[in-house]
């Protein structure tokens, strides 16, 4: 396909604005590592919240949703909708704890919470494991989506796509640090959301689709519309609904949905002005991520079933695309080729925006690990702030180059999603409890990390290689959760906890409260150290807010769907439930001890 002059002008303006933001904020970002990676801890909730949403709106996200809908229908999205429980728990229990900790990265937490060589090893290893290797895999997965879009829409080779996509993103990420990322995220998210809505509108106008009425009456689509799985099909219900809601949300570590928070989500909590802004930002993210933006992607995915009913039809339409990447997820960019001139440039800019917002965040986040938790901690503790910023900028470029090299070796978004969940299976409960149970140690975390990785390697690599009977994806997840959880719990009970002085210091700093710290609180009182006057435990009120907000957000998500489906009775009931939940949440908010900036 050929872009018009108008299309190219729109794309050029988008690139120019993104670069300009990086240049404008570059001087402030270069003052110190705290400015470069946390924006001086002075960011408001709305900018941080939009950045969280923009980061998780990646180029591969609509591809993943399309992959899911084409194979399992709308209800298949429960594999990621279930993570809302993780998100609301993080919002009302952990966001303020992270902001209270005042660490520079969530990896620094390890030596704040644990003691000895094992804590130092854990910090160093997780820096390389998450900040480098795992981060590169995530960015490669995102870049794979860019390769598919570039191949389908612009007939670009993988090399051409990654070169063009990487240069601009790296440039403004290196210049502006987190502040540049946050401001460009706000701009890029606005463009990306408008583009996704317009893509849905054009998809509905395609011949054979016939608008919403024609789409929902199409025989190939009717069986895909339900927002709940068919419970008569036990296997499917277990895979997409029961296991995600009963097990997955609390037991699985997944980037952006870490139980208790982690990674770039915590980076934004730490950059907030105060605890109140950290909590509000995380709540806004969950509302926007789950209730506001999924439906344009779902509509395009459903339309793609009519236009491209199978992979063969996609291959026929795009004969120059390699067979290795012709999967269901490529149906999304295939649908975008139907866009008219002018709008094509805008939607392409929106996809570039989605790509750039995600990649820039991962670059800054991964670089923060390399600088703060490896270079400064182990290689050169006395490094100046200017030197740390320079190392951060260099590591940003290196991470991008590595991701671009790996991207062409991957195949589809859905496979990458399940592999990453399998690697994190069983570690989630530890991340939830480590704030509230003094007995958990660095050895616990090492055991969980090792066990989950070994089980994932066996199930995803060795088991098929040995010619063993195929194991269902859902059962693989349960196996990983069970083995990993047993391993880290046993190690916790058999090894020594962190030093008493470290535990006391951590408790006084973060004030997690609860029965899991009873022994440490007693030690604090016996030693005569100052301790918080209010010993009330905030978690019960936080969990109640979590449950109410979950009901409200799910109600908003499904109410939107039923309004689109023209099922007005269901829509009105769920809208009312959403409104009541909002009112109840506002009333309960005051019960949480959330500190404001003074």
Q: Which residues contact 63 (CB under 8 A, 6 or more apart)?
A: 145, 148, 329, 330, 332, 333, 413
- Domain at 78, CATH number: 1.20.1730.10
For 304-349, give the DSSP string.
HHHH--SHHHHHHH-TTS-GGG-SGGGHHHHHHTTPPTTHHHHHHH
Predicted pLDDT of residue 415: 60
Predicted pLDDT of residue 544: 93
Q: What is the pLDDT along the chain (598 residues), one digit of tens a residue?
A: 567 788 888 878 877 887 777 677 666 655 677 778 888 888 999 999 998 988 887 767 888 899 999 998 999 999 889 999 999 999 999 999 999 999 989 999 999 999 999 999 999 998 988 888 888 888 887 787 777 777 776 777 777 777 777 777 777 677 667 787 788 888 878 887 888 888 899 899 988 888 999 999 999 999 899 999 888 888 888 888 888 888 888 888 877 778 888 888 898 999 999 999 999 999 999 999 999 889 999 999 999 999 998 888 888 888 877 777 788 888 888 888 887 877 777 777 777 777 877 888 888 888 999 999 999 999 999 889 889 888 988 898 889 888 888 777 765 555 666 677 788 888 999 999 999 999 999 999 999 989 998 998 888 888 777 778 888 878 888 999 999 999 999 999 999 999 999 999 999 999 898 999 999 988 888 887 766 655 678 889 899 999 999 999 999 999 999 999 999 999 999 999 999 999 999 888 876 766 655 4
Residue 264 lies in a domain: no
* Domain count along the chain: 2
Asked whether residue 317 falls in the same domain as residue 179, the answer is yes
Domain that holds residue 118: 14-257+272-412
Give the separation between CA 352 and CA 191, rounded to whole angstroms.
10
Give the separation between CA 370 and CA 391, rounded to whole angstroms.
8
> Which tokens sit at 6?
């108008």
Is 349 within 8 Å of 14 (Cβ atoms)?
yes
Predicted pLDDT of residue 63: 83
Residue 383 lies in a domain: yes
> Which tokens sit at 511?
């004030």
> Which bin fits 2, alpha (ψ -120 to 50), beta or left (φ > 0)?
beta
Residue 426 lies in a domain: no
Residues composing the chain = 598
Burial (0-12, 13-18, 19+ Cβ within 10 Å), 31: middle
The domain boundary residue, chosen from 412, 447, 474: 412
Residue 73 lies in a domain: yes
CA separation, residue 284 to residues 41, 47, 287, 489, 551 (Å): 19, 10, 5, 34, 15
**Among candidate residues 162, 155, 156, 191, the one with its CA nearest the CA of residue 11:** 191
Residue 495 lies in a domain: no
Predicted pLDDT of residue 24: 74
> Which tokens sit at 61?
């996200």
Predicted pLDDT of residue 168: 73
Asked whether residue 325 falls in the same domain as residue 185, the answer is yes
Residue 553 lies in a domain: yes
Which residue's entry shows tokens 């908010």? 589
Q: What angle do the packed helices 45-56 and 158-204 form, to 10 degrees? A: 100
Widest pairwise Cα distance in the chain: 77
> Which tokens sit at 350?
């929106």
Neighbours of 217 (CB within 10 A): 10
Residue 502 lies in a domain: no
pLDDT tens for each residue of 485-523: 999 999 999 999 999 999 999 999 998 989 999 999 888
**Among candidate residues 372, 486, 498, 509, the one with its CA nearest the CA of residue 434:** 498
Return the bridge partners of 272, or none: 43
- Give me the sign of the Cα torsion angle 335, 402, 424, 249: negative
Predicted pLDDT of residue 178: 78
Return the bridge partners of 425, or none: 252
The domain boundary residue, chosen from 360, 382, 412: 412
Predicted pLDDT of residue 185: 82
Distance from the Cα of residue 544 to its chain's centroid: 24
Residue 62 lies in a domain: yes
3-state class of 227 per DSSP?
Answer: coil
Predicted pLDDT of residue 598: 47
Give the separation between CA 200 and CA 189, rounded to whole angstroms.
17
Give the single-character DSSP code of 63.
H
Q: Which secondary structure element, helix H or strand E, spans residue 420, and what is its range?
A: helix 413-423
Q: What is the pTM of this model?
A: 0.87
Predicted pLDDT of residue 481: 92
Return the bridge partners of 43, or none: 272
Give the separation between CA 73 and CA 61, rounded to whole angstroms.
16
The domain boundary residue, chosen from 412, 432, 451: 412
Predicted pLDDT of residue 532: 63
Give the separation between CA 196 and CA 549, rounded to whole angstroms.
26
CA separation, residue 234 to residues 229, 239, 414, 514, 582 (Å): 9, 9, 22, 39, 34
């Amino acid at each position: 396909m050929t872009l018009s002059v108008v299309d190219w002008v729109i794309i050029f303006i988008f690139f120019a604005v993104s670069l300009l933001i990086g240049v404008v904020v570059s001087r402030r970002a270069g003052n110190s590592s705290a400015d470069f990676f946390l924006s001086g801890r002075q960011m408001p909730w709305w900018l941080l919240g939009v950045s969280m949403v923009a980061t998780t709106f990646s180029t591969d996200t609509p591809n993943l949703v399309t992959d899911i809908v084409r194979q399992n229908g709308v209800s298949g999205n429960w594999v990621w909708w279930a993570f809302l429980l993780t998100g609301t728990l993080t919002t009302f229990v952990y966001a303020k704890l992270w902001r209270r900790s005042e660490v520079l990265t969530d990896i620094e937490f390890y030596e704040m919470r644990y003691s000895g060589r094992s804590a130092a090893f854990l910090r160093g290893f997780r820096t390389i494991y998450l900040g480098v290797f795992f981060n590169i895999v995530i960015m490669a997965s995102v870049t794979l989506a860019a390769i598919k879009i570039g191949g389908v829409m612009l007939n670009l080779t993988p090399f051409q796509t990654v070169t063009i996509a990487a240069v601009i993103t790296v440039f403004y990420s290196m210049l502006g640090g987190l502040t540049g990322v946050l401001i460009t995220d706000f701009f890029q998210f606005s463009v990306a959301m408008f583009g996704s809505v317009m893509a849905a509108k054009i998809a509905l106008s395609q011949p054979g689709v016939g608008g919403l009425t024609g789409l929902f009456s199409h025989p190939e689509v009717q069986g895909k519309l339900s927002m709940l799985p068919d419970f008569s099909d036990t296997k499917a219900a277990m895979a997409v609904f029961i296991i995600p809601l009963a097990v997955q949300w609390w037991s699985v570590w997944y980037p952006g949905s870490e139980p208790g928070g982690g990674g770039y989500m915590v980076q934004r909590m730490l950059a907030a002005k105060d605890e109140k802004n950290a909590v509000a930002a995380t709540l806004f993210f969950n509302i926007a991520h789950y209730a506001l933006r999924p439906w344009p992607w779902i509509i395009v995915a459903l339309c793609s079933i009519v236009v491209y009913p199978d992979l063969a039809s996609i291959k026929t339409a795009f004969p120059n695309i390699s067979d290795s990447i012709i999967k269901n997820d490529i149906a999304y960019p295939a649908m975008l080729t139907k866009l008219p001139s002018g709008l094509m440039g805008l939607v392409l800019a929106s996809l570039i925006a989605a790509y750039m917002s995600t990649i820039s965040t991962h670059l800054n986040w991964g670089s923060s690990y390399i600088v703060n938790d490896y270079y400064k901690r182990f290689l050169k503790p006395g490094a100046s702030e200017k030197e740390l910023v320079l190392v951060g900028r260099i590591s940003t470029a290196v991470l991008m180059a590595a991701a671009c090299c790996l991207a062409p070796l991957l195949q589809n978004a859905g496979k990458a999603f399940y592999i990453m969940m399998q690697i994190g299976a069983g570690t989630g409960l530890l991340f939830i409890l480590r704030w509230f149970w003094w007995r958990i140690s660095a050895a616990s975390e090492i055991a969980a990390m090792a066990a989950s990785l070994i089980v994932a390697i066996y199930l995803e690599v060795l088991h098929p290689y040995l010619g063993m009977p195929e194991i269902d994806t859902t059962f693989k997840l349960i196996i990983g959760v069970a083995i990993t959880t047993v391993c880290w719990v046993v190690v916790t009970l058999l090894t020594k906890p962190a030093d008493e002085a470290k535990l006391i210091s951590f408790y006084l700093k973060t004030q997690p409260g609860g029965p899991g710290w009873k022994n440490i609180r007693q030690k604090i009182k016996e030693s005569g150290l100052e301790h918080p006057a209010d010993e009330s435990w905030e978690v019960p009120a936080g969990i109640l807010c979590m449950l109410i907000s979950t009901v409200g957000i799910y109600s908003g998500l499904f109410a939107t769907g039923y309004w689109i489906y023209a099922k007005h009775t269901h829509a009105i009931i769920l809208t009312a439930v959403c409104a009541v939940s909002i009112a109840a949440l506002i009333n309960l908010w005051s019960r949480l001890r959330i500190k404001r900036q003074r």
